[in-house]
């Protein structure tokens, strides 16, 4: 599996996650500096070899409007750890509105949770309290840093010093 490269703005805020090829291009064009590398890994061409970048920082500040994390099925399942927020099951997962839409519930990060099909059907058109269910954790809107830190803990521990101070936002 190919390791990804974290791109930081001049102020050290996360901008993107790119392929190592894109990172090498930014480094060769002097548009970025390498702050951290993956040890024991390198990228080879016919005539050269390069250290495998883990974190790079742009040399000029780029004003990138923050659009937030997209609310979609994949990101919702990632936020909830791929398990039902009522019983903990990891099978037959669906999306549930905590406060049903028929009762004025919105489709938002703070009103959607991952639920197994059985719990979703049993809850039906009720609130968790009415159905006798207890949420395992309160739904929240994740930040980009939340997902970056999750990836870093599994795949790229070199990123942690650069994003650990920005996890809550």
For residue 155, being part of any structural domain is answered with yes
State whether 11 and 57 are in the same domain.
yes
23, containing H or E segment: helix 20-28
What local confidence, expressed as pLDDT, does residue 17 receive? 87
Region 58-68: mean pLDDT is 86
CATH number of the domain at 101, please.
1.10.30.50
162, containing H or E segment: helix 160-163
Pair 4, 155: CB distance under 8 Å: yes
State whether 126 and 147 are in the same domain.
no
Question: Domain range spanning residue 27?
Answer: 5-66+143-166
Pair 10, 60: CB distance under 8 Å: yes
For residue 60, being part of any structural domain is answered with yes
For residue 39, being part of any structural domain is answered with yes
Q: Which residues are 44's β-sheet partners?
A: 49
> Percent of the chain scored above 70 by pLDDT?
95
Pair 112, 40: CB distance under 8 Å: no
For residue 138, being part of any structural domain is answered with no
* Total domains present in the chain: 2
Which of 20-34, 99-113, 145-159 is predicted least confidently? 145-159
What local confidence, expressed as pLDDT, does residue 109 receive? 96
Question: For all residues of the chain together, what is the average pLDDT?
Answer: 89
Name the nearest CA neighbour of 133 among 88, 81, 75.
88
For residue 16, being part of any structural domain is answered with yes
């Amino acid at each position: 599996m190919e390791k990804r490269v974290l791109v930081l703005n001049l102020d050290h805020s996360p901008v993107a996650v790119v392929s190592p090829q894109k990172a090498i291009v930014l480094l060769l064009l002097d548009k970025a500096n390498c702050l951290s590398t993956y040890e024991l890994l390198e990228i080879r061409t016919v005539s050269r070899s390069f250290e495998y970048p883990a974190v790079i920082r742009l040399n000029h500040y780029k004003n990138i409007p923050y659009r937030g994390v997209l609310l979609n099925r994949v990101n919702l399942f990632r936020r909830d750890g791929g398990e039902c927020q009522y019983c903990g099951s990891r099978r037959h997962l669906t999306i549930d509105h905590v406060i049903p839409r028929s009762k004025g519930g919105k489709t938002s990060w703070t009103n959607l949770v991952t639920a197994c099909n059985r719990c979703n059907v049993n809850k039906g058109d009720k609130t968790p309290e009415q159905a006798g269910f207890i949420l395992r954790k309160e739904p929240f809107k994740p930040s980009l840093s939340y997902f970056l830190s999750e990836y870093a803990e599994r795949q790229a521990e070199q990123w942690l010093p650069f994003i650990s101070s920005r996890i809550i936002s």
